[in-house]
Amino acid sequence: MATVSAPPPRRSRRRPRVERVPLWRRVRRVLLAACLFCLGVAALSWIPAVTGSRNLGITVASVEWLRSHGGNPIASQIENWYYELNEPEKGGPALTSLPQVGDGAAGSSEEEGEEGEEKLAYYEPPNVNPLIHPVLHGEGVWQKAGAKVGVKPPVLLTTFRSDPEYPQFVAGVAWMDKERTELAYVPGLAEPPEPLEDRGTGEVPPNMRKRLVATFNGGFPLETSNAGLIYRGKIKETMVNGIATVVGYHGGGFNIVRWNYGNTVPANVWFAKQNLPPIIYEGKLNPNLSDGPEWGETVNNATRVWRSGLGIDAHGNLMYAAANYQTVESLAKVLQRAGAVRAIELDINEDWTSFISYRHPGGSEPSNLLPEMFRSPERYLSPDERDFFAVYLKPGQPW
Amino acid sequence: MRPPRNVSPAAARRRSLLLDATLGILIGIVVLIAAAGIGVVGFLGLLGALVIVPWYLIEGGLRRRRR
């Protein structure tokens, strides 16, 4: 008799139940992995940039890093939104006083009595004609920047209210005598980014401080200005025709010109720093001051922000102006009112705008042109990221 | 050589995580190549992380509260 044996139990072919992750969760996970990967790679570049910045806070250093690594349009757009949200209101209560600048009125030297006749032989700029009345004490009146500088101060300072619609805005202006001073371009640690022999340490060289009378900020970084640079007689970044250019000559002379030499270095040029089109040329305001794209890949030209500019008067003396809440046009008007016949816009934003004068030789007792200037007056006596200009007494000139 | 088909649920979860992470890194590499600079890559990465990480945290918090 055949026996029927029971079939062996079938092995279950069912796979263990795997809980399926919904698609949207997987997409989210993929995106997170992509973001963390991007962050990790970027951190390899960001961390050294931020920790290596000598005199910048982490926020400013991060923005600078973003700008110099392809993110300039992003940084500029965010800046524009920020400034639009913080646009100042017109009007407001009138000011009753202006910030004190300098070391006494330009003509009030202790040596004046003895050298009064000699003084007449020198050119002294006329006081700035105030825009708003009644005029405040000292408004538009030139003051000596240094102490005990004699009858012929190399640097003069003044302040005035520059815009009747915004009577609380105060502009600071400095005047530098071409007969007594020379101008030097000092590269910063990170700007210009091009490799430079003799870059220096990003500060006023200690051996030059004996003759130091003033320092002030340079122009936009080359990446945002799309302009050129000549340093020590050599082209470091392609020069662009038609762009406003601060030119320093062999021997310390200076000028502001509309560049017209192409990508060549004229024989007597020691340095040339370009930045945007001239804002004043031949005594007239640039007619395109309200035209946005012409003014660089940075905050809008009509955005009210800290701005600075450098002009030259009809006698060839330098004039620096800076103020908060300026448009390109209002800054140009400040310089024009102060007497500039040609002018260039320099750097903008509170982090970069600095004019510092020194009360005594050796870089001693530095002070900002305006008390609201954000950066320390010691800024250029220690290594700085950005390039800047230093104004020295000519060799042999007494303090 | 083919990997085994029948794996434990934990192994399947790990596989899926590995696949998603690899895909994420590939997307990251594409962004790195296509972006104007490493600054843009970092900015986009930060923005994305600032959205997704809090999303995970909020979700985890809500789940714990429900238990």
Tell me, what DSSP letter sits at residue A255?
E
> What's the CA gap between A147 and A109, in Å, rounded?
9
Residue B33: domain span = 9-66
- A86-90, A102-106, A240-244, range with the lowest pLDDT: A102-106
Domain count, chain B: 1
A96 assigned to some structural domain? no
Nearest CA to A201 out of A394, A58, A55, A392 is that of A55
The ipTM is: 0.92
Last residue of a domain, one of A66, A85, A104: A85
A129 assigned to some structural domain? yes
| Cβ–Cβ below 8 Å for A38 and B24 | no
A273 assigned to some structural domain? yes
- pLDDT at residue A393 in the model: 95
Q: Is A374 exposed, middle or buried (0-12, 13-18, 19+ CB in 10 A)?
A: middle
Same domain, yes or no: A319 and A249 = yes
Same domain, yes or no: A131 and A195 = yes
B3 assigned to some structural domain? no
Same domain, yes or no: A40 and A76 = yes
Strands ordered across the beta sheet of A212-217: A181-186, A388-393, A212-217, A355-360, A364-368
> What's the CA gap between A131 and A94, in Å, rounded?
13
Same domain, yes or no: A204 and A146 = yes
Same domain, yes or no: A118 and A197 = yes
Q: What is the pLDDT of residues B37-49, one digit of tens each?
A: 999 999 999 999 9
Residue A63: domain span = 25-85
Paired tokens of A308: 């600075």
Same domain, yes or no: A71 and A126 = no
Same domain, yes or no: A134 and A52 = no
Same domain, yes or no: A72 and A214 = no
B19 assigned to some structural domain? yes
What's the rounded mean pLDDT across residues A270-290? 94
Strands ordered across the beta sheet of A143-144: A143-144, A155-161, A170-176, A318-326, A305-313, A340-348, A280-281, A284-285
- pLDDT at residue A236 in the model: 95
Same domain, yes or no: A81 and A214 = no
Q: How far is B62 from chain A (nearest CA, A)?
A: 16
Q: What is the pLDDT of residues A139-183, one digit of tens each?
A: 999 999 988 877 789 999 999 999 999 999 999 999 999 999 999
What's the rounded mean pLDDT across residues A360-378? 95
Element (H, E) at A24: helix A23-52
Paired tokens of B41: 């890559």
- Of B13, B17, B36, Cβ closest to residue A70: B36
**The residue type at A48:** P
Q: What is the pLDDT of residues A109-127, one digit of tens each?
A: 444 444 444 555 678 899 9
Domain count, chain A: 2
- pLDDT at residue A240 in the model: 96
Tell me, what DSSP letter sits at residue A247?
E
Nearest CA to A297 out of A275, A267, A320 is that of A275
Same domain, yes or no: A71 and A192 = no
CA-based max dimension of chain A: 148
Same domain, yes or no: A122 and A70 = no
- Of A21, A30, A39, Cβ closest to residue B49: A39
Angle, helices B38-66/A72-85, rounded to nearest 10 degrees: 60
Residue A383 has a CB neighbour count (10 Å cut-off) of 15
A54 assigned to some structural domain? yes
What's the rounded mean pLDDT across residues B11-33? 94
Q: Which residue has the tokens 């895909």?
A: B23
Same domain, yes or no: A207 and A342 = yes
> What's the CA gap between A217 and A348, in Å, rounded?
9
Taking contacts as CB-CB distances below 8 angstroms, the residues of chain B near A70 are 35-40
Q: What is the pLDDT of residues A17-33, one digit of tens each?
A: 666 788 999 999 999 99
Last residue of a domain, one of A68, A85, A102: A85
Taking contacts as CB-CB distances below 8 angstroms, the residues of chain A near B60 are none
